[in-house]
A and B are shown apart, each in its own frame.
Chain A
Amino acid sequence: MLVSVTEDMRMSKPSDLVQGTLDMLLLKILALEPKNGFAVSQRLKQVSGDVLQVSDGSLYPALHKLEQEGWITAEWKTSEYGRRAKYYSLTRLGRRQLEKEAHNWGRLSSAISRVIKRKEA
C-alpha cells in the first residue's frame, strides 16, 4: 500500500479490517510458534489468501502494541538465516485474550451471517 508523506497517518490502517481484528489475527498466528515480524507478515498474507491487505507499516505498530499490552513477548534470537531477529511469542495473558476474542468473533460472525442469510431469503 502506498502511503504518501502528506497524507494523514490514519490512511495507512487497513480500513477494511474490523478494529481489533488485526490484533486477534496476530495473536492467532503467534499462537502456533514464536515468529519474527517478517514471518508474521508472510504468514498473514498466506493464510488470508491476499484478502486481508495488512501493510507492513501497520503490522509493526500493531505488534508493538500487543507487546506493550503484555499479550506477546519478544526476544532476540538468531534466525535460521543466521541473523539476529526479534521473535514474538504468546504469553499466558495473550492466550487468554485470544480465546476471548476468538469466542467473541465467533458469536459476532455467526450473528452477522444469520442476518445476511435471512435478508437473502
Chain B
Amino acid sequence: MRPEHWLYTIPLRLRSLFRWGQADQELDDELRDHLERKTEEYVAQGMAPEEARRRARLDLGGIEQTKERCRDARRVNWIQDFLQDLHVGLRMLRKSPGFTAVAIITLALGIGANTAIFSIVNAVLLRPLPFPEPDRLVRIAFNEPGLGLRDVPFSVPELEDLRNRAGVFNDVSTIASASENLTGAGHPERLEFMVTHPNYFSMLGATPQIGRLFGPQDLALGFAPVAVISDGLWRRSYSADPNVIGRIVRLDNDPYTIVGVLPPGFRHPGPTVSGNVEVFQTAGFSGDPAPPPARGTRFMPAAIGRLKPGLTLEQAQARLTAMAIEIRQDYATDYPEQAQWTIEIQPLQEALVGNVRPMLLVLLGAVILIVFIVSLNIANLLLARASGRQQEMAVRSALGASGSRMIRQMLTESMLLSVIGGAAGVLATVGTLGLIQRLVPSNIPRLNEVRISWTVLAFALTISVLTGLAFGLAPALHSAKTALSSAIREGARGSGFGNKTGRLRDALIVSELAFAVVLMVGAGLLLRTLRDLLQENPGFNPTQVVAANLSLPEPNDPKMDPYLSVAQQTTFDRELLRRMRSIPGIQLAAITSHLPTSDLRLSDAQAINALAIEDRPVESSLDLRAERIRISADYFKVMQAPLLRGRFFTEGDEDGKQPVVIIDETTARKYWPTRDPLGRRVRFGADLTKPPMTVVGIVKDIKNDGLDIDGIPHIYVPVYQSPARDLSIVLRTSLQAKVLEPQIRHEIQSIDPGLPAFNVSSMNDVVGRSLATRRFSADLVGGFAGLALLLASIGIYGLLAYTVGQRAREIGVRMALGARRWDVLKLILGKGVVLAGVGIVVGVIFSAATASLMASLLYGVHPHDLLVFLAVPLLLFAVAVLASYLPARRAAKVDPIVALREA
C-alpha cells in the first residue's frame, strides 16, 4: 500500500474502531434513509404503503445481515467482534461454573506441568552454555576402544600434542576436580576445587567480580600459589568482604593467595564431584607434586578446549583421529596396539547434559501427552455443551452471523478458556518454581539457570493457544455446520447431533484413552524399574548403618603433610576407629575408601585400576582391570556382607605383613573362571617392584557403583597396607545419623582440628539418594499417569452420561416395547466397553512401538515388559467399565412413561 493510501484509510480505521457507536448509528441512518426513499418510490409506482415497505425491505436483503456485511467492510471490525466474542465468552463461562472450573483446573495442571518441565528442559538442554561462542567449546576425551575404556587419563606430552600438533584448538585446559579441606576461614570445611591451566578462564570468556582471574603470570610447573574463589564461598566464608583479595586461604594445609572472586552466575561447565566448584587453582602439571612429564605417565583426568573459528566439529574430529594414529606410530612403546588409543571431542554442552537428556525428554513427552489428554477431554465436554447451544447458534446465524464469524466466536471461547488456564498454570509454576527446583535431583546440571524466561513464557503461550485451538476447533466447526437450517425448527426438541458428532466424540474418547495408555505404560515401566531397584539386594544391609565422609589433607609440600607415610596414616585410621567405637551406641566401626552407591567417581576408567595376575602372560593382562577399594578389618561385618570362602581382613593385615586382598564373586568369575582364586597372587599397576598380593577371601558382590550397575570386578585391600586419604566411616548402630553427627565431628576433630566431617547420613539415605533421579522421573510420570487415568475416566463417563441424556426418549421407547433393564444396561455399558477396548488396543500398539525409546531409563525391565503391558490395559479397562457402569445404571432406571412424556 502506498503512503497516500494510508492517508485516507488510517483515519477511517481509527474512526471505525474508536467511534464504533457513531459509525453504526450512521449505518443505521443510511439504510433507514434508503428504505424510506425506496418505499416512497414504490408508493409512487402505485403500491400500497404496507406492500411498498415490504418490497423495499426485501430488496435490501436481511437488514441485519446487510449491516453485518457493511461492518465487515470496515477492516477493524474483527477487533470489535473479538471484544464482543470475549464478552459473550466470559458470560458463557460464568453461566456454567462447574464446567469452567474443571476445564480451567485441568488446563492449569496441564499447561503448568508443561511450563515447569519446559523451563528445566530449556535451561538444561536448549539454552547455549553461558559463555561466548559456546558452540566452539568441546570436551576432549581419550579412549581405548580396544579395551572398552572411555575417558582414560592422559599425560602432559599428550596435552602438548593437542595444543601444538593438532592445530584445531585455540586453547586447551586440563580440568581436574576433587575436594579438599579448607582451613583458615571460619571452621574447617570440605569443598570442591578444580585445578586448571592458567588459560581456563580466558578460554571460557569469564570475567572476575573483583580482583583478577588466572593469566600468563600464573604459569608454573607445579601449583601456582594463587586461588580464585566462587561467589558462593566469598559470601559464605568471607561475608562478601571486598578486601578478600590478598588473603591467604589454606587448602589441604597449603597456603594460597586469593586473587579474584568469580561472578555469581559462573559455573564450571562439567560434571563435578559433589556440587559447585568453590575454589579454582592453576598448575602446569609438570612439576612437584606432579611427576615429571613423560608420555606414559597419564594422570590428568579430563580436558576442555576451544576450537579454532571456522572449524566444524567433524573436521576437528577427523584431524584428531588422524593425529592419534600418527602418535601411536611415533611412540609405539607407549601405545599398546590392542588399546587402539584415540581422541574424541564432543560439544561441551552435550558432554555436560548428555546423561540427563533421556530422562528430561521422557518427562517432556509425558507432559505433552497430558496436555493432549486434557485437550481431548475439554473438546469432549465442549462438544456436549455445543449441542445445548445449537439453538443459540441458529438464532445468531439468522441474525446475520456468518459461518466464519460463528467459528471465531466458538474459538474465542475456547481460547479464553485455554489462556485463563494457561495463565493459572504459569502463575502456579512461577509460584512453585523454588519448590520444583528443590524436588529436581541436584545432580542435574545447570539447575541454577532454571527460570521462567521469555522463551518459557512464549512456550507456555504457544501450548495454551495450540490446546485452545485443538479442543476448540472440532466443536466450533461442528456448531457452525449444524447450526443453520434444521436447528431452529427442531429447536429444543433436538435429538442432539447426528451420527457424525457421535463418531467425532467417540474418536476423541478413543484417542484420549490411547494417550492415557501410552502414559501409563511409560509410568509403569519407570515405576517397575524403581521398585526392582529398591528391592534389589545391594549385597549389604544398609539398615542401622550410619556413614560419614572425611578426607585427610594432601598438601603439595611434604613438610606440611602429617599423613605422609603409611605408618602415619595407619596410626590415624586406628585412632579414628578406636574413637568411633567409643561413642556410646556404636556396635562396630569400619573405614572404606568407597561408600557403596555413593558415586564419587568421575569416570569408569579412572576408578578401575589395571591389574596383573601372576602366572598370566603380560600381553593378555591389558584388559585385566578391577576397582580397588580400601577397607578396614570390620568393614564386611558392619555392612553385613557375607563371606563366601576364605577369611576377612584382621587388624593384623598391616604394612610390612603379607599383602592380602579379598575379591568379590564377579572378579572370581571373570579372572578365575575354572580355578580356585584363593591363594592366587595379583598386583595393581605395572610396577613389578611392588610385592604381589595374595587372595585370602571371596565375598558376595556388593553394589558399590550404584544399584543399577553390574559386572564391575572389585578387589578389596586392607587400608593399613594401602592407605587412602578420602575415607568414609561406616558405623553399625541403632542411633540416628543426626544424633551421631556432633559426636562424630567432635571425635574426628579431637584427633585433628583441621579435619571436616561431612555427609553424615544413614546408609539407607545414601542408597536412596543414588536413586533420586530415577525416583523423581518415576514419581512424576506416575503422577501424570494417574491424572491421565482420572481424565480418561471422566471423559468416558461424560460421553456416556451425555448419550444417556440424549437417548432417554429412545430408551423409553425401547423399554415400552419390551426391552428389559438388562438390555438397556448392556446397550450403554457395551458402548463404553467398545470405546475403551478400541482406545486401549490403539494405545497398547502405540506404546509397544515407542517403548524402546525409554530403554536407556530402564533397568532390569524389558521395554515390552509383559506385566506392565497386561496390568495397564486391565486397570484402564476396569476403570473405564466402572465409568461406563454409572451412566448405564442411570439409563436402566429410566422410567419409560416419564421419558416419553418429557421427551
Contacts and interface: CB of A to CB of B under 8 A. Distances in A.
Interface of A: 1-3, 5-6, 9, 12, 36-38, 41, 55-58, 60-61, 64-65, 67-70, 73, 76, 81, 83-86, 91, 93
12 contacts: A3-B65, A37-B33, A56-B61, A56-B66, A57-B65, A61-B66, A65-B73, A67-B12, A68-B73, A70-B7, A85-B33, A86-B33
Given A37-B30, A84-B29, A56 B60 contact: yes
B59 A56 contact: yes
Given A68-B74, A70-B5, A70-B12, A1 B61 contact: yes
B69 interface: yes
Q: Give 4 closest A-B pairs by Cβ, nearest first.
A: A57-B61, A70-B8, A64-B73, A61-B69
A48 to B, nearest CB: 16
Contacts of B402: 9
Contacts of A69: 5, 9
Nearest to A40: B34
A2 B61 CA distance: 7
A56 B485 contact: no
A68 B69 contact: no
A2 B54 CA distance: 11
Given A57-B66, A61-B69, A68 B9 contact: yes
A61 B73 contact: yes
Find the residue from B13, B16, B59 having the highest chain A CB count within 10 A. B59
Contacts of A56: 34, 38, 59-61, 66
B398 interface: yes
Given A9-B402, A70-B5, A73-B8, A60 B30 contact: yes
Contacts of A38: 33-34, 37-38
A58 B66 CA distance: 8
B31 interface: yes
Interface residues of B, number: 35
A76 B36 CA distance: 17
Contacts of A2: 58
Nearest to B74: A68
A86 B29 contact: yes
B274 to A, nearest CB: 69
B292 interface: no
A51 to B, nearest CB: 17
B31 A60 contact: yes
B398 A9 contact: no
Given A56-B60, A64-B70, A93-B5, 19 more contacts: A5-B398, A12-B61, A12-B65, A37-B33, A38-B33, A38-B34, A38-B37, A41-B34, A56-B34, A60-B66, A61-B73, A64-B74, A68-B75, A69-B5, A70-B5, A70-B7, A84-B29, A85-B30, A86-B26
A18 B27 CA distance: 27
Contacts of A84: 29, 33
A91 B66 contact: no
B72 interface: yes
Interface of B: 4-5, 7-9, 12-13, 16, 26-27, 29-31, 33-34, 36-38, 58-62, 65-66, 69-70, 72-75, 398, 402, 484-485
A81 B72 CA distance: 30
Contacts of A5: 62, 65, 398
Nearest to B66: A57
Contacts of A70: 5, 7-9, 12
Find the residue from B31, B33, B36, B61 having the highest chain A CB count within 10 A. B61
A90 B300 CA distance: 85
Contacts of B26: 76, 86
Contact of B484 (A6, A64, A65, A85): A6
A68 B27 CA distance: 14
Contact of A60 (B34, B74, B485): B34
Contact of A3 (B38, B62, B73): B62
B717 to A, nearest CB: 90
Contacts of B34: 37-38, 41, 56, 60
Nearest to A4: B62
B21 to A, nearest CB: 16
A9 B70 CA distance: 13
A3 B65 CA distance: 10
B61 to A, nearest CB: 3
Contacts of A67: 12, 73
Given A55-B59, A85-B33, A86-B26, A91 B70 contact: no
Find the residue from B12, B62, B66 having the highest chain A CB count within 10 A. B66
Contacts of B33: 36-38, 83-86
A68 B12 contact: yes
A116 B408 CA distance: 45
A44 to B, nearest CB: 12
A36 B72 CA distance: 20
Contacts of B30: 36-37, 60, 85-86
Find the residue from B36, B69, B484 having the highest chain A CB count within 10 A. B69
Contacts of A81: 37
A91 B59 CA distance: 29
B73 A55 contact: no
B29 A61 contact: no
Contacts of A64: 27, 70, 73-74
A69 B13 CA distance: 10
A93 B4 contact: yes
Contacts of A83: 33, 36
Contacts of A86: 26, 29-30, 33
Contacts of A73: 8
Given A83-B33, A86-B30, A93-B5, A57 B59 contact: yes
Given A56-B38, A60-B31, A91 B8 contact: yes
Contacts of A3: 58, 61-62, 65
Contacts of A68: 9, 12-13, 16, 73-75
B78 to A, nearest CB: 13
B472 to A, nearest CB: 23
A58 B60 CA distance: 8
Contacts of A93: 4-5, 8
